[in-house]
Each structure stands twice: as structure tokens, then as C-alpha cells.
Amino acid sequence: MQKSNTLVRAFAIAGLAIAPVAITTTAWALSFVSTQAPGEQSTSSIIGLNVENRVGDKLGDISYLVLDNSGKVSTVVIGVGGFLGVGTKNVGVPYSEITFTTKDGQRIATVDATKESLTNAPNYVWTEKSAAE
């Protein structure tokens, strides 16, 4: 019986030592977003969009969106050339230079560029180790 009481006391003391930590956590301070705000876009609605220039030439597809340290999209990586992803070159364009519009009932991205200017642009280089490699 002595062993049993000693174990009960040990668990009670351990519980008291842990309890203040549990009480001081702030998990309940997390806020939630229940709906998309006007003007917001999901990344999945942008990635994969056709990219055209203002004359209607297809330049490529949006492959990736790059976020800055504040979490805002800074760069759009466009897959240029290739066929079904083979031989595609990734070119980075500032997000501010991309506009979105609708053409023939489909949403597209437009950029002020030519096929030649994107083909001759430098490859976008990833500097982080991520799934994008």
C-alpha cells in the first residue's frame, strides 16, 4: 500500500508541476478566417493559368507563386516553352506586372512580354530547399 500512495503523491506533484504550463498556454488566442475576403485569390486558382501577352500570344503557364517574408506574393514563375512540362524553362516575373482577365470565358494571366523576351530571359533560380526543386 505504501508503494501505491507514493506513486499517487508522485503523480500529484508531477501534475502540479505541469499544470501552470498548461494554464499559461495561449492556444485559445488563435483567430480563424471563415470566408475568403473580396479581392483575395487562392493560389490554386492562379497556378496553372495560361499566360498571354496583350496581343493574345500564349507565352506559358503559371507554375509557382513565390512569397516574400511578409507572406505576400512577390514573384510569378512562368513555365515557358517545352511540351507537357518537358523542356520547360522557369522565368520569374514580378507579381505586380501580371494582370488577370477573362478570354473566351476562361480566366487568364497577361504580361507585357513577347515569346522571345521570355525565352531569352534568365532561368528562375530557387535558393531554398523545397518541393519546387
pLDDT in tens, 56-102: 999 999 999 999 999 999 999 999 987 665 678 999 999 999 999 99
Give, as one character, the DSSP assignment of residue 22.
Answer: H
In a domain, 64, yes or no: yes
The β-bridge relationship of strands 99-103 and 89-94 is unpaired
* Residue labelled with grid coordinates 526543386: 133
Q: What is the pLDDT of residues 15-46, one digit of tens each?
A: 545 445 444 555 578 899 999 999 888 999 99
In a domain, 32, yes or no: no
Spatial distance between the Cα atoms of 25 and 82, rounded to a whole number of angstroms? 52
Range of the domain at 106: 43-120
In a domain, 105, yes or no: yes
In a domain, 25, yes or no: no
pLDDT at 7: 47
Using an 8 Å Cβ cutoff, are 77 and 90 in contact?
yes
Instruction: Work out the number of other CB atoms within 10 angstroms of the CB of residue 13.
Output: 10
In a domain, 125, yes or no: no
In a domain, 93, yes or no: yes
Q: Closest by alpha carbon to 46, among 70, 68, 73?
A: 73
The β-bridge relationship of strands 106-110 and 99-103 is antiparallel
In a domain, 7, yes or no: no
Answer whether residue 105 shows pLDDT above 70: yes
In a domain, 2, yes or no: no
Give me the number of domains the chain comprises: 1
- Output the domain CATH number for residue 90: 2.30.30.240
